[in-house]
Amino acid sequence: MSLLIKPTLACNLSCKYCYQNRLFRNPDYDIDWIIGELERLLSSRDPDVGHLVTLHGGEPLILPPEHIRRIFETIRKYGYPISIQTNGTLINDEIIELFKEFKVSVGVSIDGPGELNVLRAPPNLTKRVLDNIERLVSEGVSVGLITVVHRYNAGTEERFSRLLEFIDHMSGDLGVTGRLNPLGYPAPKDLFLDPDRLAQVYRRLAEFMFDRGYRWSPFVDLWNAITGKGEVVCVFRPCDPFNTAAALVLRGDKIITNCQRHLPLVRDSRRMQIREEALSKTPYEYGGCRGCKYFPICYGGCSANGLNGDWRNRDLNCPAWRAVLDYYDSVLRFMGVTPAYIQKFREQQSSRPNKSFEHVDGGIRHLDSNVQHSDGIEHLDGGMRHLDSGGRRCG
């Protein structure tokens, strides 16, 4: 869980696939209200705040530096780690000094060099962002990247090779890692990789990371999920879209709400497992996960990316997740290690009630049809309650 502070959704760029394009980007905000609510949430140690506070947007660096300072001072006052997510175009000397003073972890959004980043910014601004990343690293500022994978940076072999070179430079030369997110809703359809290409790209990325030892998300998260060890990003945890466990959002228009990948602005006071239960029982052909061996460790992926825009369905990026998990599954089997999904299945089986005796399901007392029984005991075969061999029913 983390607290995201979004003073404004306004931005100096216009990324073609931004999930916030569908939201009203009001540039106005009340900094005093934001500081007051931040004080209230952090001082109360509200469990919904979690362990990290992130200044987010829109583009947070369009705020006046004095407002950014007030926000950072308030967070530091209560001892929380501070991070910021930015497109990196507005970083300057003053901003870098702020980052260093408050020990801010900086997330930069970039999809690669040159034309690989064209959905975010023109080449001149992309060059500026790349230069700023190197400057931050040289100044000792902690940097991570968010890179979205789409047709413009992975749709052809030539572009995908350049994406791998970019990752190699960032991690191998600069020591920077990050997150490689597949494109999600509500991006235009023509920007998505087709499912087969998506699976191929993510399988190759997993092999690339494994071979070089680069610890990028979601590959580390999926490894942790299948081994049952370590932290896992929210995409692979159960999610209630009306009370998102991963993020609480403090908006500058005086709204406290859910992860903004979801449209519901009213945060429910309850947290339920409706999606998890529905996916576990819904057949694959109807958008569910019934029968998928990986469901106990991925939970159907991100609810904001449910097939056809429906949070009740599994993640449209399921082909990517399955491809990575299939690869890791083969690695673990070669190592002689039992994957976590098998362990969880065994735990579930051992915790189920023993139905080798007479019991009740659906209000009917019976033995199951696969259980050996004598002729005089009432049981179910084919959904019908009866006695065998003319046995007389009592009562």
Q: Are 299 and 239 spatial neighbours (Cβ–Cβ below 8 Å)?
A: yes
Q: Is 18 or 364 the better-scoring residue by pLDDT?
A: 18
pLDDT at 155 over 60: yes
The mean pLDDT value of the chain amounts to 88
pLDDT at 320 over 60: yes
pTM: 0.86
pLDDT at 371 over 50: no
Q: What is the mean pLDDT of residues 151-161?
A: 98
Spatial CA neighbour of 192 closest among 27, 307, 41, 35: 307
pLDDT of residue 169: 98
Q: What is the mean pLDDT of residues 78-105?
A: 97
Residue 241 pLDDT class (50, 70, 90 cuts): confident
pLDDT at 374 over 50: no
Which pLDDT tens digit goes with each residue over 95-107?
999 999 999 999 9
pLDDT at 385 over 70: no
The C-alpha angle 178, 288, 348, rounded to 5 degrees, equals: 85
pLDDT at 389 over 70: no
